[in-house]
Structure 1
């Protein structure tokens, strides 16, 4: 039983670190997106991409923290 507990704890730790790393990567990618200016004119494709990203992030948030919990 102790061996299984150690394996599940190791797997959880690995998954937790991976999730945090992915969150940090996504945060950096969004932070690095260009602000609208003369060199980076923003178009509706950019808006749609960010809206799509926001919807997917909301789905993930709702999955890990359902409303009311």
Structure 2
């Protein structure tokens, strides 16, 4: 079924009103930006060293206490 010119104009006017309500569409292909870590790698490794290093030294102290 073919639209009449009057129907076509009415449909275009309706589409424009709906577009204003929704806002502008986002681009279909959006470049993804790699997410940056909230903590610096240096501080992450420092924290890991303090926690794991402390556990390792504690285990060595316990093992050395048996001898």
Larger RCO (CA within 8 A; separation ≥ 6): 1
TM-score for both structures, normalised by structure 1:
0.37
Rg (Cα) greater in structure = 2
Relative to total residues, which structure has the larger helix share, 1 or 2?
1
